[in-house]
Amino acid sequence: MKDLLSYLTEKGEKEGADYVEARYQRFYTTRIEVRDGRVISALPGIERGVAIRVLYKGGWGFATTNEIEKETLNKALKTAIKMAKQSSLDTGEVKLAPTPIVEDEVEIKVEKPLEETPIEEKIKFILQADKSAREASPIIKSTSNYQDYSERKIICTSSGTQIEIKNSWIFWGMWAYASEAGLIQSYRDRFAMLGGFEITEKMNVEERSRRAAEKAVELLKAKPAPGGRFTVIVDGVLAGLIAHEAIGHASEADGVLRGTSILRGKLGERVGSKHVTLIDDAILAGKFGMDFYDDEGVKAQRKILIQNGILKGYLTNREAAGKLNLPATGNARAQDYRYPPIVRMTNTYFKPGDMSLEELLEDVKMGIYAKGGRGGQVNPAEGVFQFGAQEAYLIKNGEIAEHLRDFSMSGFILQTLKNVTGVAKDFDIYPSFCGKGGQSMRTTCGGPHIRIEGMIVGGKA
């Protein structure tokens, strides 16, 4: 397969392309959904294909096929070249940032390969987790999901890079719903890691499912969150939502170039308080967003985006790095062979500080402690966001008090970062799938407990 991909990149250059990239993927996947003890779907699958991307005088062309035959691949190459020539009529010059030529083979080590694990064993695993949630209370309804993925990927470029990657991961998630007297509350949990089926032994999903169900029941008794401006302490999960959605997307260099990022033109400037350090770490071992190389063949890296409040960099692919005169950071990622790589986050988080949660709490006379992310909205161009939390608590005179539900908070991204007055030394990180450009990509986000002054709290989201 490497020889065939190398042939395509060489032929593309002979036909006038400035750069050619060929990416082969073969992946095995399983998706299972269970609702209230019933298996709704169990879908195993195997797929393979080749993506070809061509740069010609500033224009990009892309073609993909799942027919792995020389004749078909030649047609796909011609299509990509034709598209690149057409798009070059409307674009300026593109200079790709220089990167080392790499020849490498890497893999995630597994003990129980996913493709060799019977689907019955996977169904049993998810049913046990779902049962645990429903046993917590007779008023619980539940939805549990399992997904696994095992791939072989080969990347060849006309620059001479040849990389083979073998990857494997499992994702589990669940929602627990509780209802009483017309009020419905929910709580979710999720877990994911790189590896084979053996990592299910580390997931502890039965206990996690039971705890999520108990939380949903507890929220039925909680009071609605108040509105106004408060000192808010967020846990590591909600801090991760802020890191990813509010800051991470604004750090992606393709958005910076399009003018859709509040961070455009701010390199070297203060964008947060001295307590704020934001990192995107693609080499965080075993975590869901980890990569060895990105889909342009650039080595994955740990990048400091904000250091002690100062904006230090952006996440880049080779094109954006060339245009901004910055290094390529290895953040060009594609969902699979059907898509071109675009700038994406990996494992994005706030760096822990040196305070304890108790120290964050002790100076707060009246505030709110918010836990867990429940999604929200963000506009990286205008720099505004609104997020919900899974649960919250009032803080009175440094002590955690009444339980709250339906909590949301909003604000301006840069002002919020500047209002951070304390960062704890603990750390939590959780997995997610990030959507962008029609693609879904595995990531993680997280951080420590963080104290933010003057946060706008809107009550029910």
- pLDDT (average), residues 195-215: 95
Q: Is the dihedral of CA 134, 136, 141, 146 positive or negative?
A: negative
Residue 94 or 375, more confident? 94
- According to the model, what pLDDT value does residue 140 have? 97
Structure tokens at 360: 């964050």
| 461 pLDDT above the threshold of 90 | no
Give the right CATH number for 2-219 from 3.40.50.920, 3.40.50.150, 3.30.2290.10, 3.40.640.10: 3.30.2290.10
CB 444, CB 423: distance < 8 Å: no
Residue 266 CB neighbours (<10 A): 16
- Taking the model in full, what pTM does it have? 0.94
Query: Mean of the per-residue pLDDT values for the chain?
Result: 96
Residues of the chain within CATH 3.30.2290.10 domain(s) are: 2-219
Tens of pLDDT along 345-392?
A: 999 999 999 999 999 999 999 999 999 998 888 999 899 999 999 999
Angstrom distance (rounded) from CA 212 to CA 132: 10
Tens of pLDDT along 152-187?
A: 999 999 999 999 999 999 999 999 999 999 999 999
What does the angle CA 82 – CA 88 – CA 89 come to, to the nearest 5 degrees? 105
Q: What share of the chain is helix, strand, coil (3-state, %, to 5)?
A: 25, 45, 30
458 pLDDT band (50/70/90 cuts)? confident
- According to the model, what pLDDT value does residue 459 have? 58
444 pLDDT band (50/70/90 cuts)? very high
User: Which residues lie below 8 Å from residue 245, measured CB to CB, with a gap of 6+?
Assistant: 376, 378, 385, 387
- H-only helix segments in 147-304: 200-203, 205-219, 236-241, 253-258
Angstrom distance (rounded) from CA 50 to CA 458: 48
Return contacts of 185-190, CB within 8 angstroms, 24+ apart: 185/216, 185/217, 185/219, 185/220, 185/222, 185/405, 186/216, 186/219, 187/212, 187/213, 187/215, 187/216, 187/219, 187/372, 187/390, 187/391, 188/212, 188/390, 190/430, 190/431, 190/432
% of the chain at pLDDT higher than 90:
95
Closest CA to 239 of 389, 357, 384, 350: 350
Tens of pLDDT along 268-291?
A: 999 999 999 999 999 999 899 999
Structure tokens at 207: 């206990």
Q: Can you give the length of the chain in residues?
A: 461
